[in-house]
Structure 1
Amino acid sequence: MTTPQTTQDVPYVTDETFTEEVLRAGVPVLVQFTAAWCPSCKQLTPVLGALAAELGDRIKAVRLDVDHNPRTTVAHGVLAVPTLLVFRDGEPVRSVVGARSRTRLLRDLDGVL
């Protein structure tokens, strides 16, 4: 795989939009649970955007701010940021905690993307 030259903007979802944007998406969704004060989250966002651009229609990537969306954060047992959850058919299928390089993230998500 080659590294893409551009990254995709990673949009935010909220407690109110999570069901439609993530659980009913029709494709696997990689959700970054993040916070504005989290430096590791800021490092991970461009990696996530590049990965989403590279994988195209195979996956959708979104972010959820844990400070402003406690209902979804608690419902999915997120205790640390950044946490990445992959949802397929409305169910979480993989969880990764902490910032990752593109290579390590691909390895950690192998089999679910």
Structure 2
Amino acid sequence: MKKLLTFVLLVMLACLFLDKVGGSDMHMQFNGDEIDGPLEWLFGLVFAGGGLLVAAIALVCAAVVTGVVLAGVGVVLIAVLALCVVLVLALSTPVLLPLLIPVAIVWLIVSRKHKQAQAHQHSL
């Protein structure tokens, strides 16, 4: 199937190429002069390819600039988000103080038991 598909694509490209070579319906003007002759299609393809190359370069440059701008905006947004989190934590500390006292007591009890268990293991 791959060989058949490749063959069909090559035949289609050859037909298109031969249509452009033999076709005389292409008219091109360069600096006000009409270019004709057997290589008229070649000049048209070269100039069209040059336009596509310029367009591709412009798209790449636009993508790079957009990426840099959006990356900068992302860094600023992350900094603003971190600042908001710190501000919310700072404002909620007095409200959380009654909750932190029992947590601190439990933490001290657990850490003392942990230290006693380690001291018991070192003595063995």
Which bin holds the TM-score, normalised by the shorter protein?
under 0.3
> Which of the two has greater helix per residue?
2
> Which of the two has greater strand per residue?
1
Larger radius of gyration: 2
Under a length normalisation based on structure 2, what TM-score does the superposition of the two structures give?
0.17
Structure ranking higher on relative contact order (CA contacts 8 Å, 6+ apart):
1
Under a length normalisation based on structure 1, what TM-score does the superposition of the two structures give?
0.18
